[in-house]
Structure 1
Amino acid sequence: MSKFVMLGKLTAHPGQRDELARLMLESSESLEAMEGCLQYILSESADEPDVLWISEIWESAEAHAASLKDENVLAIISRCRPLIAAVTPVKLRALGGKGL
């Protein structure tokens, strides 16, 4: 399977999770038309009040890398950066399953 899967744990500065989520959801609108993006889901942690999780599935690692050069995505990242205390990326290799 050649799909590129990535999870990202975003820890917002205290009290900034909702604003960060709002900005991140704006980025998902930009990704609707992004070539190679199959899935982009933003979730909030039920146990950690400042944590958001991003689940992404891309056609390839190259498609994901290209998205990070897109001017709309770069603008969203720039707006989100001050709200983020920590980022923990988790790169995965999809083996199979429903939705792939």
Structure 2
Amino acid sequence: MAKKSMVNRDVKRAKLIQKYAGKRAELKAIVLNPAASYDEKMEAQASLQKLPRDASPVRVRTRCALTGRPRAVYAKFGLGRNKLREATMRGDVPGLRKASW
């Protein structure tokens, strides 16, 4: 089980990302727009840097939905390798079974 503080920190980051998603998208569009002037781009870039650091989607860590484990998480299932294996053995994951040959 992961530390509760680390899991809560990621939840807080996810909320911050949702809060600033619209503003961030607008500023990114200005920066990437080839028709925008140099001054507009620089102003948009400066505004983008003034946003909170945790408003960037890259800063969220993928974690297991059950345990909060940060590593070896399968994005398709949202589970860590241990819990995914347990769920597979119980037959809870449709279409997935243990390999044998």
More RCO (CA 8 Å, sep 6+): 1
More helix by share: 2
Question: TM-score, normalization: structure 2?
Answer: 0.26
Which structure has the greater CA radius of gyration?
2
